[in-house]
Chains A and B, each alone.
Chain A
Amino acid sequence: MSKGRIAAVIAILLIAGGCVALWHPAIAPVQARASFPSDQIARGAALAAVGDCAVCHTVSGGQPYAGGRGVPTPFGTVYATNITPDPESGIGQWSEAAFRRAMRDGIDRSGRHLYPVLPYPHFTRASDEDIAAMYAFLMTRAPIRAATPPNQLPFPLDNRVLLAGWNLLYLHPGPWHPDPAHDATWNRGDYLVEAIGHCGACHTPHNMLGAEKGAQALSGGEAENWYAPPLQSASPAVQPWTEDALAAYLRTGFDARHGAAAGPMTAVTEELAGVPEADVRAMAVYIASLMPKTAPEPATHGTGDAHAQAIFAGACAACHGTDAPMTRDGAPSLMLSSAVNAPTPRGAIQIILHGIPWREGKPAPYMPSFAAALTDAQVAELAGYLRATFSNKPAWSDLRTEVAKAREAS
């Protein structure tokens, strides 16, 4: 984001921060490691999975929950902390109260503000009982000594005082309330999606201060340069999402009428695979209720120009051709792909460049990366061809710039 805008951001935050010269006390360290009932630990495990703790708090190939993963934001890179019970480098000294304060108010044990990359604006709705369960789960992991690298944020965003202002503007504490108009399952889903799963952190557009635009909840956003499609009426899905389809997709990362989870969503589905079916089903029920019931007109198979068609025939058709074994055997035609039907080409470009990585020893969708085989111009040409051929949406503009941006980011 531009210098001018950053300046404006800082100005606002400083004023706001100034108004709330709040000081937060440190919470006394706990020495002995408490023990917890196993059913509470198990519930905490499921909640931690819905909350994707491991997704951000684990470096790829590293020890789960030991932190160190850099989360790219428009402002800079924020590193997820070590949340194993290691006393020095982890949260071993945190009492349940300290943990609850971090989850609810975004303030760590020492009284320091945490950056809202930790979705505490969502967790703040979580019940005491659930926070206690997640605490029980985390405190019973193997303690791992691993220091967290310092964040890479430009001055003065590295000044955490600004966050007091940010919280004043965008943190709305208070418990989650069920909607009596809906049944228990729907409400369970709403709670898991909003208070624990924080789906909006990626699927809701953010304002220039990096806060979710509450008015446009789940209307589509961005995650680590990947397109996060709308989970409500604006969904571009050609086949309407049903409860069953969503429930299956969330646990397997694949649905025969929509395709495979890619980018950051892959890890999310890996986590949900270990969550009790009833909870995932509840999330599916809730999200499906926000989605459109009827689909837009299915695309009519158009034809792009010959050169682009040759690229598709040689590079993509082995799997995505209408007569390809993969398509024949249940994988969806690109006509159903959300990425191809999305308002922005970002998803299509990212998946062409990066594909879908292997999951060790797990039968799962895979796609090779074409980053080396295709030049920027060729990626743009192919993306344009996919749009023209497999959707009846207007052509994407500015493909070259988008490709360049995506290469930049990777």
Chain B
Amino acid sequence: MIRLTVNGNVHEVDVEPDTPLLYVLRDELALNGAKFGCGLGQCGACTVMVDGQAVFACLTPVALLLDRNIRTIEGLGINPVQRAFIDEQAAQCGYCIAGMVMRAQALLERNPHPTELEIRDHMSVNLCRCGTHMRILAAVRRAAVAMGSASVVQP
């Protein structure tokens, strides 16, 4: 049994310690957000947040995650980043999008006012084959503005 804290809830899962988080989220906890894209840390489809940073769930065995804080797109609720992706209609097939949202979330929590260059560089880890990039960039910019103003309202 392994204890994991996902989106604030503690789970006891019956898996071997070498099991990558991705399969635990998808198959044990029935969370669909993180996707299998390569299992090699090359595409970011599996991106989730661990202790506030974006990580590849496909290369993160649960043995690493004791007492660490895991967040998935299911745990965001409808937040400014997701809102922005909907407002920009930033998806085609959408397979890459949950990973994009999580990576963007990690960026904006650390750097609320990223430059265009910083956004492109930070997001460069995640692949999209449908070519939704321009809308994803627009969504991240929009979310940054939304979060910025939000933080003004409730400092």
Q: Residues of A at under 8 Å CB distance from B? A: 61, 306-307, 309-311, 313-316, 318-319, 326, 355, 358, 366-368, 370, 372-375, 378
Contact = CB atoms under 8 A, between A and B. Distances in A.
B60 A366 contact: no
B49 to A, nearest CB: 9
B120 to A, nearest CB: 10
Contact of A310 (B17, B39, B58, B124): B17
Contacts of B17: 306-307, 310, 314
Given A368-B41, A368-B42, A314 B53 contact: no
A374 B41 contact: no
A313 B55 contact: no
B64 interface: yes
Contact of A314 (B40, B61, B117): B61
Contacts of B56: 368, 373
Interface string B1-43: 0000000000000001111100000000000000000011110
Contacts of A307: 17, 63
Contact of B40 (A309, A319, A373): A319
B124 A318 contact: no
Contacts of B42: 366, 368
A374 B117 CA distance: 26
B50 A373 contact: yes
20 contacts: A306-B17, A310-B18, A311-B18, A311-B61, A314-B18, A314-B61, A315-B60, A315-B64, A316-B59, A318-B58, A318-B59, A326-B40, A355-B41, A368-B41, A372-B54, A372-B55, A373-B59, A373-B60, A374-B64, A378-B64
A337 B17 CA distance: 26
Interface of B: 16-20, 39-42, 50, 53-56, 58-64, 117, 124-125
A326 B38 CA distance: 13
A253 B53 CA distance: 30
B42 to A, nearest CB: 7
B61 A310 contact: yes
Contacts of A313: 18, 61
A61 B124 contact: no
B50 A358 contact: no
B60 A314 contact: yes
Given A372-B50, A372-B54, A318 B39 contact: yes
Given A61-B117, A358-B124, A314 B63 contact: yes
A373 B39 contact: no
Given A311-B61, A311-B63, 9 more contacts: A309-B18, A310-B63, A313-B61, A314-B64, A318-B39, A318-B58, A355-B41, A358-B124, A372-B50
A61 B58 CA distance: 29
A373 B65 CA distance: 9
Contact of B64 (A319, A355, A358, A373): A373
A315 B39 CA distance: 10
A314 B59 contact: yes
4 shortest interchain CB distances as A-B pairs? A314-B61, A368-B41, A313-B18, A372-B53
Nearest to A319: B40
Nearest to A325: B40
A373 to B, nearest CB: 4
Contact of B61 (A306, A315, A355): A315
A375 B39 CA distance: 21
A313 B19 CA distance: 8
B108 to A, nearest CB: 16
